């Protein structure tokens, strides 16, 4: 499990450093990566292309791991993420990555899920829900 956690930490560190420190070692050649808001990348080459292109126009400010869960060839990682696109405002959210591993210890499947930070109780004022008129984040 330590090797798997080390691999995930390396992947997050790459984003924080804006540096490819071994994408080809982290992901299998035919890996699938699905972002929380829809885009999907197939293959380590496409994941590397996305990484390099995204980092040319944005910066990951924080990507903190909260906890890991392991079962068989799968891992779930709970995290907090904050980024800023060039010329844009920072965005932040909580998330979970579901990961499946190859026998050699590479990621062959990763799917992200996001959760807005602007949480509230719509029943705070009584039995009729009062929902905010805010625009929901993209995931």
- Span 51-76, pLDDT tens digits: 999 999 999 999 999 999 999 999 99
- Span 14-32, pLDDT tens digits: 999 999 999 999 999 999 9
Structural domains in the chain? 2-115 (3.10.450.50)
Over range 68-85, report the average pLDDT. Answer: 97
* pLDDT at 136 exceeding the cut of 80: no
Residue 87: which pLDDT band, with cuts at 50, 70 and 90? confident
Q: Radius of gyration of the chain from Cα atoms? A: 17
Pair 93, 66: CB distance under 8 Å = no
Give this prediction's pTM.
Answer: 0.92
- Span 91-120, pLDDT tens digits: 999 999 999 999 999 999 999 999 999 889
Query: What pLDDT does 4 receive?
Result: 98
């Amino acid at each position: 499990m330590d090797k798997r956690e080390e691999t995930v930490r390396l992947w997050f560190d790459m984003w924080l450093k804006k540096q490819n420190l071994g994408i080809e070692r982290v992901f299998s050649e035919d890996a699938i990566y699905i972002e929380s808001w829809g885009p999907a990348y197939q293959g380590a080459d496409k994941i590397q292309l996305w990484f390099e292109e995204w980092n040319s126009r944005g910066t990951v400010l924080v990507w903190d791991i909260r906890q890991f869960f392991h079962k068989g060839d799968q891992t779930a990682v709970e995290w907090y993420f904050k980024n800023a696109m060039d010329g844009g405002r920072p965005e932040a959210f909580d998330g979970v990555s579901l990961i499946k591993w190859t026998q050699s210890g590479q990621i062959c499947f990763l799917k992200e899920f996001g959760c807005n930070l602007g949480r509230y109780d719509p029943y705070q004022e009584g039995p009729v829900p009062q929902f905010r008129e805010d625009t929901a984040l993209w995931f």
